[in-house]
Amino acid sequence: MLEEKLQANGPSPRQEIVDGYCLFQGELRQLAEANVSIATHALNYGTGCFEGIRAYWNVSQDQLYILKAKEHYQRFLRSCRILKIACPYSVEELVDWTVKILTKNEYRENVYIRPLAFKASTVVKVTLSGLRDEVAIYSVPMGDYVKTEGLSAVVSNWQRVSDNILPSRAKVTGGYINAALASDAAATDGYDEAIMLASDGQVSEASSSNLFIVRDAVLVTTPITADILEGITRKTILQVAAELGIPYEVRPIDRTELYVAEEMFLAGTGAQISSITSVDRRMVGDGLTGPLTRRLQELYFRAVRGMEDAYEDWLTPVYRKESKA
Ligand SMILES: Cc1ncc(COP(=O)(O)O)c(C=O)c1O
């Protein structure tokens, strides 16, 4: 299993994105020709929203699968709505553009896709109304965003943005300052990841993924009202748990529950399913990836590559195959 995963992995997320075809101003262009002015509203005020989507390369099937494309673009349009951004494309059209971009880039490896909608006017006025909007999509080859085993986490002293300050359920570009402050502080202090508390002191989520714990063999994650981004991976895991009869609860999580949990993992497009084995330098469970985390990881890593028939509907194949008939 692990061998298959590594075989079709890809470069680290830190590489500069310099080439490839993208969608910009309504057409396919080279990334080098898709530029904006320094006076762009979104660059100055953070008035944009985005998505992060993965596509997984299956070596033996010679196929690239986009994971949960429709669900990501549904959330994208909800983020646009919150920011009063008029997206000229429907969910289906956005999926079609994505397939076109990936096909044109001829990828044969794992890929990260970045849809971006933003206030494109070059005016000095802090508002959301009466501005020109722009929608773009670009992509980049990418392997694991974080290691998927044995992460160390710290409870951040940066509080997660509360929905009445900055919409937490929208993927707002400017809002990622909050995540950057928390994850940068965690990395500076020698941790892999930051866990953020909400304004009520209860657990919200990690810097750029949702959080699950296991207590008394029950899978637990925080509710969508805990100032989290409503994660697609989170929802997928809850659906899988329901189907497999794994007991789960969606409820507030207290800070000290992190210290007594048997297992803990991150869930997100970037993070995938990654086990956390220490929090605040305290061991989680016995300090190893737990059995429930392992079971979900194994299933997830197979399903996202089209290796589980039961979960085929998660995937959009990019390359057309000749019919065998
Ligand atoms: C703040 C935040 N929370 C949670 C997630 C996980 O969401 P998803 O599973 O839809 O990628 C992400 C990543 O997109 C995120 O940036």
Half-sphere exposure of 260 (CA within 13 A, CB side): 7
Calculate mean pLDDT across residues 69-96. 98
E strands within 170-228? 193-197, 203-206, 210-215, 218-221
Is 236 close to ligand 1, i.e. is its CB under 6 Å away? no
Calculate mean pLDDT across residues 16-38. 95
pLDDT score of 8? 52
Which of 68, 104, 171, 324 is an active site residue? 171
- Which atom of ligand 1 is least distant from the CA of 236? 9
User: In this structure, what token pair is assigned to residue 260?
Assistant: 């007594």
Torsion on CA atoms 50, 316, 247, 193, rounded to nearest 10: -40
> Strand, coil or helix: what is 12?
coil
Residue 310 has pLDDT above 80, yes or no: yes
171 included as an active-site residue: yes
Instruction: Kindly report the number of other CB atoms within 10 A of residue 48's CB atom.
Output: 26
DSSP type of residue 310 = G
Instruction: Kindly report the number of other CB atoms within 10 A of residue 14's CB atom.
Output: 6
Q: pLDDT by residue (tens digit) across 122-151?
A: 999 999 999 999 999 999 999 776 789 999
Calculate mean pLDDT across residues 106-134. 97
Rounded to the nearest whole angstrom, what is the distance from the C-alpha of residue 316 to the centroid of ligand 1? 20
CA 179 to chain CA centroid, nearest Å? 13
- Which atom of ligand 1 is least distant from the CA of 179? 1
**Can you tell me which residue has the tokens 């079709």?**
8
**Can you tell me which residue has the tokens 């899978």?**
219
> Strand, coil or helix: what is 68?
coil
Q: Counting beta carbons within 10 angstroms of the beta carbon of residue 96, is it exposed (0 to 12), middle (13 to 18) or buried (19 or more)?
A: middle
DSSP type of residue 290 = -
Between residues 4 and 124, the one the model is more confident about: 124
Calculate mean pLDDT across residues 188-214. 98
pLDDT score of 325? 47
Which residue ranges form the domains of the chain, and what is each CATH number? 2-141 (3.30.470.10), 151-288 (3.20.10.10)
Rounded to the nearest whole angstrom, what is the distance from the C-alpha of residue 103 to the centroid of ligand 1? 25
Q: Which residue's CA is the closest to the ligand 1 atom numbered 2?
A: 208
Calculate mean pLDDT across residues 73-89. 98
pLDDT score of 2? 47
- Which atom of ligand 1 is least distant from the CA of 269? 11
* Mean pLDDT, the chain, whole residue set: 95
> Strand, coil or helix: what is 295?
helix
Question: How many whole angstroms separate alpha carbon 38 and alpha carbon 247?
Answer: 51
Residue 321 has pLDDT above 50, yes or no: yes
Calculate mean pLDDT across residues 277-286. 98
pLDDT score of 323? 60
